[in-house]
Amino acid sequence: MGQSVTPERPVGTGWIKALKLTMATWPYGALSVLGAVSAFGAYTSMYAFRKAFAAGSYSGLEFLNVDYKAWLVIAQILGYTLSKFYGIKFIAEIKAMNRGKAILVLVGISWLALLGFSIVPAPYNIIFLFINGCPLGMIWGLVFGYLEGRRATEFMAAVLSISLIFASGFVKTVGRTLITDFQVSEYQMPFLTGAIFAIPLLLFVLLLELMPPPDAKDKQMRTERVAMSASDRRAFIARFLPGIILTIIVYVLLTVMRDVRDNFEVEIWAGLGVNSNSIYTYIDSIISVAVLIGMSLLILVKDNLKAFSIIHVFIFCGCLLAGGSTILFKADIISPTTWMTLAGLGLYAGYVPYNAIFFERMIAAFNYKSNVGFIMYVADAIGYLGSISVLMVKELGHSKVSWNVFFQNGLIIMSVVGASAALLSSIYFSQSARRSLAQNKTLNLSVI
């Protein structure tokens, strides 16, 4: 997500300039590792400002006959969704020189909103979760902009995407620890959790700023990434419309179920009879390592179209694993912990590629000058719109259904529909690539 670094990017002054010049001489592999770790750290730190509130249960509270925590989730996702829609334009057009400043300003606004949440009494503090979500939807695109369009993008993006899994459990563990071990109020906990991660965020953003832009070989292998005007964006959509529609169908389903797991994991585990502050980090660490290995291995596949096809296989199998493990659990064949591990693995095996390498390889495979940020934010905006719609329908129409049961039933539906759409998407893009290749051969022959 986000645009590539442009050659015109200023190198800074003083010690920052010296560091940038020094890093420009580093081996490519070392820079890739640094970029991966810095992106992972920056986004994990951001998660502390976004998801710490979900570690609280806020039990026994309702507003307008709807569970108070559900209101918090809906308010934040609504702000996050609006941010994604604005990000379609913002991320596609932002200049590289403004990226780091934008990250810090946006996270700072969200942190101030958490301060308001801790001071204003419930339920009036719900509005602050909406304000908190508004800036944070653009962070992924800003961070990914440092990584895209490079021959090591798979590795770096895979590490970054692991933060989607690891950070969720890690932040919940930190939040629950503040509540249970340090007797911090559930309302003060999100702001204090953000305070813990403020300095790490500054450090990791600085390291990202020090990364040199993609080199000539990167551009040759992955297609040059450029800012996109409104007409460029319309042309891109028109060129790949059927595939984009199928992609969005899968992504919406994955986003909905991933958000349910992310926001109500405490309630799901409680419904399974498991109460442990460490279970979140433990399970998510297993999933993180498995997904990281799978995504990173794609760096070995140099052919972009072949890699794009393999990514479809990841998504297809992920959907089936999430649904299949749920059926086994409902049949009492596997334990709750095994089910949550396998379901989470399948869910993120499908979800992470869209946030890391799906659009990266798509652009490279079709040699289409553009940037990942634009199309990623189109998918994200619709995905989160679907997520908040499902949450509101569930709370307003089926509030008696537990999140545990809702999650199980949702995974089965996602598995069937998502796997089918992923298969059709693979077929469409394969046929489109063959048509493009045939047209290019005909054009070359006519020129000769």
- pLDDT tens digits for range 376-393: 999 999 999 998 898 888
Query: Mind listing the pLDDT tens digit for each residue in 17-47?
Result: 778 778 878 999 999 999 999 999 999 999 9
Q: Which residues pair with 63 in a beta bridge?
A: 66
Q: How confident is the model at residue 403 (pLDDT cuts 50, 70, 90)?
A: confident
Question: In the numeric block, which tokens belong to residue 436?
Answer: 């493009």
In this prediction, residue 14 has a pLDDT band, given cuts at 50, 70 and 90, of: low
Q: What is the pLDDT of residues 79-102, one digit of tens each?
A: 999 999 999 999 988 888 899 999
- What string of DSSP letters covers 103-119? HHHHHHHHHHHHHHHHH
Among 7-21, 49-63, 265-279, 280-294, the range scoring the smallest mean pLDDT is 7-21
Q: How far apart are CA 292 and CA 296, in angstroms?
A: 6
Evaluated on CA atoms 25, 29, 32, 38, the torsion sign reads: negative
Other C-beta atoms within 10 Å of 157: how many?
A: 30
For the chain, how many residues are written? 448
Residue 67 main-chain phi, psi, to 5 deg: -50, 135
The pLDDT score that the predictor gives to residue 125 is 97
Whether the per-residue pLDDT at 446 is higher than 80: the answer is no
- DSSP string covering 392-440: HHHHHH-TTS-HHHHHHHHHHHHHHHHHHHHHHHHHHHHHHHHHHHHHH
**What percent of the chain shows pLDDT beyond 70?**
94
Query: How far is residue 299's CA from residue 279's CA, in Å, rounded to a whole number?
Result: 31
- With a cut of 60, say whether residue 9 has pLDDT above it: no
Question: Please, which residues have CB within 8 angstroms of residue 87's CB and are 6 or more apart in sequence?
Answer: 137, 138, 141, 373, 377, 380, 381
Residue 400 pLDDT > 80: no
Note the pLDDT of residue 131: 98
pLDDT digits (tens, 9 = 90+) for 413-422: 999 999 999 9
Q: Which residue has the higher pLDDT, 280 or 425?
A: 425
Question: Would the pLDDT of 367 be above 60?
Answer: yes
Provide the pLDDT for residue 252. Answer: 95
Spatial distance between the Cα atoms of 342 and 59, rounded to a whole number of angstroms: 28
For residues 442 and 97, give the distance between their C-alpha atoms in angstroms, rounded to a whole number: 42
Q: In this predicted structure, what is the pLDDT of residue 201? A: 98
pLDDT of amino acid 162: 83
The total of other beta-carbon atoms located within 10 Å of residue 199's CB is 10
The rounded distance, in Å, linking the Cα atoms of 28 and 370 is 24
CB 314 within 8 A of CB 350: yes
pLDDT of residue 97: 87
The domains of the chain are located at: 14-447
145-177: per-residue pLDDT in tens? Answer: 999 989 898 889 888 988 887 888 899 889 999
The pLDDT-based confidence of 214 (bands split at 50, 70, 90) is confident
- Retrieve residue 286's tokens: 């297993």
Per residue in 259-294, is it b (16+ CB within 10 Å) or e — as a string?
A: bbbbbbbbbbbbbbeeeebebbbebbeebbebbbeb
pLDDT tens digit string along 427-436? 999 999 988 8
pLDDT given at position 13: 53
Amino acid at 333: I
CATH assignment, 14-447: 1.20.1250.20
Least confident of 149-163, 174-188, 299-313: 149-163
Share of the chain above pLDDT 90, in %: 60
pLDDT at position 393 is 84
Q: Is the pLDDT of residue 225 over 90?
A: no
| CB within 8 Å of 417: residues ≥ 6 apart | 249, 253
Place of tokens 């790490």: 200
Closest to 190 measured CA to CA, from 43, 50, 45, 53:
53
Bridge partners of residue 225, in order along the sequence: 370
- State the pLDDT confidence band at 398, using cuts at 50, 70 and 90: low
pLDDT value of position 442: 60
Local confidence band at 253 (pLDDT 50, 70, 90 cut-offs): very high
Q: Are 393 and 70 in contact (CB under 8 A)?
A: no
pLDDT band at 441 (very low <50, low <70, confident <90, very high): low
The single residue listed with the structure tokens 């989607």 is 164
Query: For residue 371, what pLDDT band results from cuts at 50, 70 and 90?
Result: confident
Under 8 Å between Cβ of 37 and 179: no
